[in-house]
Amino acid sequence: MNKFKFYIPVIGFALLALVMWRGLYLDPKELPSMLIDKPLPDFQMTTVEGAAITKADLPNEMFLLNVWGSYCLPCLIEHPTLMRLTESDQIPVVGVNYRDKQALALNWLDDNGNPFQFSILDEDGRFGIDLGVYGAPETYLVDSEGVIRLRHVSVLDEQVWADKFLPAIEQLKLEAN
């Protein structure tokens, strides 16, 4: 018993070290989404090109909802990945043009290429608030029922796609069968 007491500080230290070690690899900037497993909020907006659009116009299959803006540098970093996903028909990508100006958004798509089926124009960020967005880029995985299943904050590169999205998509496909 006395021997055990001697080890209490050691065990205490080990537990503390474990907690802090884990803390080193947590990203405090990545907040949990409140909308996981909830349907996408309703909306009546226009696209960046000016066409009227509602929730009913979204794809009837699993798709990505990517929050972007022409001012957003990390969006340029993830842009090639989004282009590849669209060009290889892996998954439809819908954009949310967040807190941007329509003209700037159109220019950006012209300059860099357009990976989106369409982009919802959210100039005043009101739709973003309903999504719980707090800055571009953010990417949501939405299932065929229109339910949000995954949220990723910051850059979606090939690594994130392989480590986070592909397993989640496989999981959803298994659940559907």
Partner 1 sequence: MSSITGSNVFLRFSVITLLLGFWILNAPIAMAQVDTFAFDTVEQQQRFRHLSDEFRCPMCQNTSLTGSTGGVAEDLRREIHRMIMQGMTDREIEQFMFERYGDFIFYRPRLRAETVLLWFGPLLFLLLGAWVAYSISRRAKVVNETGTPSLDSGQQARLKDLLNDK
Residues facing 65 on adjacent strands: 94, 140
We find the least distance from the C-beta atom of residue 5 to partner 1, in angstroms, to be 11
C-beta of 11 vs 31, nearer to partner 1: 31
To the nearest 10°, report the CA torsion of 73, 75, 80, 84.
180
> Are β-strands 148-153 and 138-142 bridged in parallel, bridged antiparallel, or unpaired?
antiparallel
We find the least distance from the C-beta atom of residue 72 to partner 1, in angstroms, to be 11
C-beta of 11 vs 129, nearer to partner 1: 129
C-beta of 62 vs 133, nearer to partner 1: 133
Instruction: Identify residue 18 by its one-letter amino acid code.
Output: L
We find the least distance from the C-beta atom of residue 167 to partner 1, in angstroms, to be 24
We find the least distance from the C-beta atom of residue 34 to partner 1, in angstroms, to be 5
- Report the distance separating Cα 91 and Cα 123, nearest Å: 26
Positions touching partner 1 (CB under 8 A) are: 28-29, 31-35, 99, 124-126, 128-135
C-beta of 112 vs 134, nearer to partner 1: 134
We find the least distance from the C-beta atom of residue 46 to partner 1, in angstroms, to be 18
C-beta of 79 vs 151, nearer to partner 1: 151
